[in-house]
Amino acid sequence: MVIIGDILEKEGMTLQNELRSNGKSCQFTKLDVTKSSDWEKTVNLAISSFGKLDILVNNAGISNSQEPIEVTVEDSWDKVMSVNAKGVFLGTRAVIPYMRKNGGGSIVNVSSQFGLVGFEFENSAYQASKGAIRIFTKVTALQYAKDRIRANSLHPGPVDTPAGVVASGNSDRLAFVLSKVPLGRIANPLEIAYGALFLASDESSFMTGAELVIDGGWTAQ
């Protein structure tokens, strides 16, 4: 039983229908993660549809062009930080009362390998936002451990998604990124999804405030 939230309504409805056709219980709702009112609506939908809320996966994220810090404009910085960092804060704040009432829950915050290490050719706001997610996750874990609410961060490396380096068609950048991955390839989205599933489930019941890195060895260097 899953609520899918996104600003992309057409794509969200397509995914909802695909999952339902495969026998899954899910519902799509429009969610702008930067708006607390949207979070309130989404959480209320989950409670009214399923009776409780056990898991939150904060996965919304954007980036801007790979511009140096000195030419990054404030609006660009603010937009990235609003979606990537503020969105995680608002989502977490919205679900905590319901998870506490349930006697616990699991929060999975999707960061990045760039939440652990810097990279000169990636947007500075993106990297800063992913680092913020990492530390915010640890604070959440400490503040709500007594309520049996766990919070962990997931740190993917490059993944083959519509927003990824493969889809960009930039062969030079793809070759450069691959040179940074010891395993020599880009991750399949399922490889990241399995990590999120692990953190969401009771299989990780003794993990909180931790970092699960799925980056093909990027940060091992």
pLDDT at 130 over 80: yes
**What is the average per-residue pLDDT within 78-102?**
97
User: Do 81 and 126 touch, CB atoms closer than 8 A?
Assistant: no
| Whole-structure pTM value | 0.95
SS3 166: helix
SS3 95: helix
Tokens coding 154: 């997931």
pLDDT of residue 169: 72
**What is the average per-residue pLDDT within 62-76?**
88
Kindly report the average pLDDT of the chain as a whole number: 94
pLDDT of residue 2: 94
pLDDT at 64 over 90: no
pLDDT at 81 over 80: yes
User: Do 166 and 174 touch, CB atoms closer than 8 A?
Assistant: yes
**What is the average per-residue pLDDT within 105-115?**
98
pLDDT at 167 over 70: no
pLDDT at 166 over 80: no
Report the share of the chain in percent with pLDDT over 90: 86
Q: Choose, from 98, 126, 144, 194, the residue flagged as catalytic.
A: 126
Residue 142 amino acid letter = L
pLDDT of residue 73: 92
Active site residue 194: no
Report the share of the chain in percent with pLDDT over 70: 99
CA separation, residue 83 to residues 15, 59, 64, 67, 131 (Å):
22, 10, 12, 19, 14
Residue-range domains of the chain with CATH: 55-220 (3.40.50.720)
pLDDT of residue 196: 98
pLDDT band (50, 70, 90) for residue 62 = very high
DSSP state of 152: E
pLDDT band (50, 70, 90) for residue 221 = very high
